[in-house]
């Protein structure tokens, strides 16, 4: 089977489907999205904690979040389905004095861009968020505009509107090779045939490096397991609390209805594609989070799941066209920020393919930053 497409997208998750929607909304509807799974969003997209926040370490990422936040707020007007956005806010906490200095300096940049972030002393944190009882706390930042949304609803909205505009989504089909013609993209080979086309977008999430290798491109993205747990209904914390995160341990919690959702990264866990629930990680999480939210000692875990972060060396995404291979675009390495940045990523990739000037400066996301030893490190990473 041989088909033709103006744009071929590898990956039917939030990033790939946002790109498909934004392309189709600009009039490029001969788009084929290919995914090896049997349903769209089966991978990391369907396992996200749903956070949406504006605090990032460089202006372009802040502007990405602002575009996404605005879309999530008005999602139903655009897509006919609510994103269930809940502006519960984000509260970042630190016990590290040097990191606190960085956070305060970054808040000035964020405020200059219109982000209503506030820097809080330990006394202010204790007064406004009494469930936090953190020994050694030096400060925190709070942004009331932040919140959570439903990744599944957003994924469905992108997919249905893209299909309505003429996009084809092909599932249970794996891309096995990228076709080249004198260093230009010519299409892809899959388990079901060949799709010819001059533009291929790598939106393969944790499999980004594998797809890059098919085109001879080294994309420094590795998969890491991240686990999330939900308690049984729990009333010993306020009914309304922000997404609350402790930067040193990467532990976090928020409300999930009447329950509490919580998680934490394990810096010692090696890269893998494992998505089974790790009970040792749960034990570490409980021990860690009880040190600063002791009221959780009376909670019981109801369920848990794990997904994959696609992590870049500096925890910042890799976005753009590969200069040496015209027609090969990357949207990879979101390091846990893919959901909140999926709307803006779809827009900028569509703008690049259309030959338009992206609405934000993409220099911080360039693959070349690694070869030039000019990383774009992200401070706010969980």
- For residue range 218-234, list pLDDT tens digits in order: 999 999 999 999 999 99
Confidence at residue 279, expressed as pLDDT on a 0 to 100 scale? 80
Give the span between the Cα atoms of 237 and 260, in whole angstroms.
Answer: 9
Q: Which residues contact 151 (CB under 8 A, 6 or more apart)?
A: 14, 41, 45, 46, 48, 50, 339
Report H helices in 113-204: 122-128, 151-164
Confidence at residue 366, expressed as pLDDT on a 0 to 100 scale? 97
Confidence at residue 43, expressed as pLDDT on a 0 to 100 scale? 82
Confidence at residue 382, expressed as pLDDT on a 0 to 100 scale? 85
Confidence at residue 2, expressed as pLDDT on a 0 to 100 scale? 85
CB 16 within 8 A of CB 43: no
240 DSSP assignment:
S
Q: What is the pTM of this model?
A: 0.97
**Token representation of residue 256:** 């999930």
- Helix, strand counts (H, E) of the chain: 10, 20
Q: Is 149 left (phi over 0), alpha (psi -120 to 50) or beta?
A: beta
Q: What are the φ/ψ torsions at residue 262 (nearest 5 degrees)?
A: -145, 155
- B/e letters for 20-35, b = 16+ CB within 10 Å, e = fewer, are bbbbbbeebbebbbbb
CATH number of 88-145+222-311: 3.30.9.10
Please state, as a whole number, how many other Cβ atoms lie within 10 Å of the Cβ of residue 294. 12
Indicate the burial class of 8 (C-beta count within 10 angstroms; 0-12, 13-18, 19 or more): buried
Residue entry with tokens 């609350």 = 244
Confidence at residue 283, expressed as pLDDT on a 0 to 100 scale? 92
Instruction: Report residues of the chain scoring pLDDT below 70.
Output: none
**Token representation of residue 69:** 């936040």
**Domain map (residue ranges) of the chain:** 2-50+152-221+314-371, 88-145+222-311
Give the span between the Cα atoms of 45 and 34, in whole angstroms.
Answer: 15
Question: In residues, how long is the chain?
Answer: 382
CB 53 within 8 A of CB 145: no
CATH number of 2-50+152-221+314-371: 3.50.50.60
CB 262 within 8 A of CB 249: no
Confidence at residue 29, expressed as pLDDT on a 0 to 100 scale? 93
Report H helices in 143-239: 151-164, 208-214
**Token representation of residue 335:** 């390091």
Q: What are the φ/ψ torsions at residue 308 (nearest 5 degrees)?
A: -120, 130
């Amino acid at each position: 089977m041989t088909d033709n497409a103006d744009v071929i997208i590898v990956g039917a998750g939030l990033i790939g489907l946002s790109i498909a929607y934004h392309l189709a909304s600009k009039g490029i509807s001969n788009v084929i999205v290919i995914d090896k799974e049997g349903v769209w969003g089966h991978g990391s997209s369907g396992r996200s904690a749903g956070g949406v926040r504006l605090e990032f370490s460089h202006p372009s990422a802040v502007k990405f979040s602002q575009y996404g936040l605005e879309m999530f707020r008005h999602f139903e007007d655009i897509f006919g389905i609510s994103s269930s956005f809940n502006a519960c806010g984000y509260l970042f906490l630190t016990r590290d004095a040097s990191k606190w200095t960085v956070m305060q300096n970054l808040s000035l940049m964020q405020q200059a861009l219109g982000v209503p972030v506030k820097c809080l002393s330990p006394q202010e944190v204790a007064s406004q968020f009494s469930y936090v009882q953190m020994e050694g706390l030096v400060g925190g930042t709070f942004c009331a505009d932040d919140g959570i949304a439903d990744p599944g609803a957003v994924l469905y909205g992108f997919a249905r509107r893209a299909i309505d505009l003429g996009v084809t989504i092909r599932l249970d089909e794996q891309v096995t090779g990228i076709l080249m013609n004198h260093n230009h993209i010519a299409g892809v080979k899959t388990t079901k045939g060949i799709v010819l086309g001059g533009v291929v977008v790598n939106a393969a999430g944790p499999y980004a490096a594998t797809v890059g290798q098919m085109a001879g491109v080294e994309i420094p993205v590795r998969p890491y397991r991240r686990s999330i747990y939900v308690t049984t209904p729990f009333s010993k914390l306020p009914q309304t609390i922000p997404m609350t995160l402790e930067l040193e341990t990467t532990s976090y919690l928020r409300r999930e209805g009447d329950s509490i959702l919580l998680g934490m990264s394990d810096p010692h866990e090696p890269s893998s594609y494992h998505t089974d629930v790790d009970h040792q990680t749960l034990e570490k999480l409980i021990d860690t989070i009880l040190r600063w939210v002791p009221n959780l000692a009376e909670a019981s875990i109801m369920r848990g799941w794990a997904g994959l972060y696609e992590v870049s060396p500096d925890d910042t995404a890799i976005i753009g066209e590969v200069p040496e291979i015209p027609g090969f675009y990357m949207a990879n390495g979101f390091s846990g920020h893919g959901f909140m940045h999926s709307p803006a990523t779809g827009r900028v990739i569509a703008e690049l393919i259309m030959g338009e000037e992206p609405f934000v400066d993409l220099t911080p996301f360039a693959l070349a930053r690694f070869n030039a030893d000019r990383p774009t490190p992200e401070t706010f990473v969980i």
